[in-house]
Structure 1
Amino acid sequence: MGMQISAISFREHRELGEVAWLRDYDRGLKLAAEQGKPVLLLFQEVPGCSTCVRFGQDVLTHPLMVEFITDRFVPVAIFNNHPGADTEILHRSDEPSWNNSVVRFLRPDGAELVPKLADRYDALGLHDKMAAVLAMLDDEVPGYFRLLGRDLLVEYGLSKCMTYTTPCFWSGETSLATHPAVITTDAGWVDGEEVVQVYFDPREASRPVLDAYASAEGFNPIESRGFELDREPQFYLRKNVARRLPLTPAQRTRINLAVPYRSSVADLLSPQQSAWLGDTNLKRSSGEDAYRRDIRQSWPKLVSQLGIIEREN
């Protein structure tokens, strides 16, 4: 008896997150050949231990992660604790049964593109592997997915935080955002002074380097204790209809920079976000401060109002 061909998702199994997975390995390879996509093959314990559930709920539920997987891969799930066809694929892949989450990345002929993701259960690990797959295929990593990687640095505590006094924190946000190491900016107050709080990638710039850049712009470092967010952070984004979109912190920082310079925001948005931006019903379906909410909460709310993109495969 063959595996299911229909897709399944978190509605049946929390270990699978919100990705719609195929359950037929050979069918997945065939679709990959037809669509010109690689296969993202998840070996998962279902029902699973707490590690497997966390991988599904923490890693495979971020809206941009889910969209990227769906858009750029053919996702196939193999249950490593089920008999029958699942066990057959385990043996063919030399994967153990009853194991924690493992992800492989395959060409349509089944050949492995990059080393598998194993013994690592965080979103940043999966993000970096998928970016490596696109690089292997000479396929450009879209801007929104690069920004997601930077957001994950902040989420996992791998970024650094600095706060700078500025004559005007609205223009200060855009000035600081131009530095390539800066991931996010927020306008606010410390002891009555206008400041901008930034998170930056320490791999791209040290604190002294960023301090020197800020000083050249007329800004000075200050202790961030007592930082209070202003009522209108990302001032220029607030003037744009994109404020009604679910956005990550890195996205809203880059869009806030793009708007006053009249730069395109297309590469900063996912296909779904771009579709919503062009929807005439966006204004009545989403609040003006949607961009400030956690994307994991604001995304499903907008889906319920405007629906999702139907892709032709």
Structure 2
Amino acid sequence: MRLSLLLPALLLFCGCSQPARSNSPEELGKVRWLRDFETGLERASLEDKPVFLLFQEVPGCATCRNYGNEVLSHPLIVEAIETLFVPVAIFNNKGGKDAEVLRYYNEPSWNNPVVRIVDYGRLDLIPRVSGNYSQLGVVQAMVFALERRSKPIPVYLQLLYEELLARQQGLETTTLSMYCFWTGEKMLGQLDGVIATEAGFMDGREVVQVAYNPKTVSFKEIVEAGQQARCADRVYAHNDAQKAEAIAMLGQGKAGARSSFRPGHEPKYYLSRTPYRFVPMFPLQAARANALIGQGKSPEGVLSPRQAELAKQMKAHPEGKWENVIGKDMIAAWAWEGNR
């Protein structure tokens, strides 16, 4: 049974009442948009939600199409827009009501994508997002808007923001050796600031490669956490600074330069032993889920409601021939054709 067969039922569960995705132009991605601003404001007032207002050129240039395919098609960005906001799309190259909204906000016509998040009184909650066509730009805008409204930020959205921001700021990577890389990945994957983990082999040893945000957690803190969990027998440094610090901490014989890395055969071992391996996740989410399962805890706290419902449906149909999507791109793995 394919993931796509469950998605229509999943959308009914989530209460989505917007137009079918198959009717949406490429530039609008996979979000189910309202097309009337006044209707959106009314719904926002009734549901006490901000309005996610997209000004988009349809049909549009390559920038507009890429924005639809790469930003507005990310499953968790779509879920956040559809469930935490009221999504309204305004075509910036049309007349009528679209042109009226453009004039109200003094937005240019025939322009690249612009996002405004407004309250149901039409006032901007945050500065307009213009010239930033990244996933981070949209996720950051949603987080800031929710904070402005004193609304809770779901864990899945906070984690996605953390990962995207860390990748923009610049990740660092180090490799630690231990007696069991399954245990090592479980222990290191729970650390704040760790963005991604991968178990494998280096220099004939079991190791875990750790990608982390140095603005949140230091190399020293990662090694110390590894030592406390008996998961830092040796450090393979990825730069001279790491090597010098590793020698100071562990001694000359337990610190060296990295060599070729070979991934293990069972990525995210604990996650891979459960039906959650069939649920598309981004790297930080998968690292946290794997760590939680390895500790005997449920990973549902780091999943979105739609991901959790997907896992529930898969558990209810164990006969299905599901695909293991650990490590796969979320947009590709989500099988959007099932939403049409």
Q: Please give the range of the TM-score, normalised by the shorter of the 2 chains.
A: 0.7 to 0.9
Matches of 1:153 and 1:107 in 2, distance apart?
Answer: 26
Pick from 48, 63, 80 the counterpart of residue 75 of structure 2.
63
Distance 1:49 1:245, change over 3 A: same
Of stretches 126-135 and 149-158 in structure 1, the one that deviates more from structure 2 is 149-158
Matches of 1:8 and 1:97 in 2, distance apart?
Answer: 26
Pick from 214, 229, 234 the counterpart of residue 268 of structure 2.
234
Match of 2:134 in 1: 122
For structure 2, which runs of at least 5 residues remain unmatched after alignment? 1-16, 237-256
Match of 2:146 in 1: 134
Match of 1:311 in 2: none
Match of 2:214 in 1: 202
Q: Number of aligned pairs?
A: 301
Other structure's SS at 1:85 match: helix
The Cα of 1:257 is off from its aligned counterpart by: 0.9
Residues 197-276 of structure 1 aligned to structure 2 (within 5 Å): 197-218=209-230, 219=232, 220-222=234-236, 223-276=257-310
RMSD value over aligned CA atoms?
2.3
Distance 1:100 1:209, change over 3 A: same
- Contact kept, 8 Å, 1:169 with 1:196, in 2: the verdict is yes
Distance 1:190 1:153, change over 3 A: farther
Q: Is structure 2 residue 180 aligned with structure 1 residue 146? A: no
The Cα of 1:15 is off from its aligned counterpart by: 1.1
Pick from 294, 299, 305 the counterpart of residue 334 of structure 2.
299
Overall identity of the aligned pairs, in %? 36
Match of 1:289 in 2: 324
- Contact kept, 8 Å, 1:244 with 1:283, in 2: the verdict is no
Matches of 1:6 and 1:165 in 2, distance apart?
Answer: 50
The Cα of 1:199 is off from its aligned counterpart by: 1.2
- Contact kept, 8 Å, 2:194 with 2:284, in 1: the verdict is no
Distance 1:67 1:285, change over 3 A: farther
- Contact kept, 8 Å, 1:232 with 1:238, in 2: the verdict is yes
Matches of 2:30 and 2:170 in 1, distance apart?
Answer: 26
Matches of 1:37 and 1:201 in 2, distance apart?
Answer: 32
Amino acid at match of 2:293: V
Amino acid at match of 2:310: W
**Whose helix proportion is higher, 1 or 2?**
2
- Contact kept, 8 Å, 1:32 with 1:108, in 2: the verdict is yes
- Contact kept, 8 Å, 1:245 with 1:286, in 2: the verdict is no
The Cα of 1:10 is off from its aligned counterpart by: 6.6
Matches of 1:79 and 1:57 in 2, distance apart?
Answer: 17
Amino acid at match of 2:303: L
Distance 1:104 1:192, change over 3 A: same
Query: TM-score, normalising length from structure 1?
Result: 0.88
Matches of 1:170 and 1:157 in 2, distance apart?
Answer: 29
Match of 2:248 in 1: none
Amino acid at match of 1:265: P
- Contact kept, 8 Å, 1:244 with 1:282, in 2: the verdict is no
Pick from 180, 192, 204 the counterpart of residue 192 of structure 1.
204
Amino acid at match of 1:232: E
Q: Is structure 2 residue 213 aligned with structure 1 residue 178? A: no
1:63-117 deviations in Å (ceiling 9; x for gaps) = 1111111111111011111122211111111111112111001111211111111
For structure 1, which runs of at least 5 residues remain unmatched after alignment? 309-313
Query: TM-score, normalising length from structure 2?
Result: 0.81
The Cα of 1:291 is off from its aligned counterpart by: 2.8
- Contact kept, 8 Å, 2:135 with 2:164, in 1: the verdict is yes
Of stretches 6-15 and 44-53 in structure 1, the one that deviates more from structure 2 is 6-15
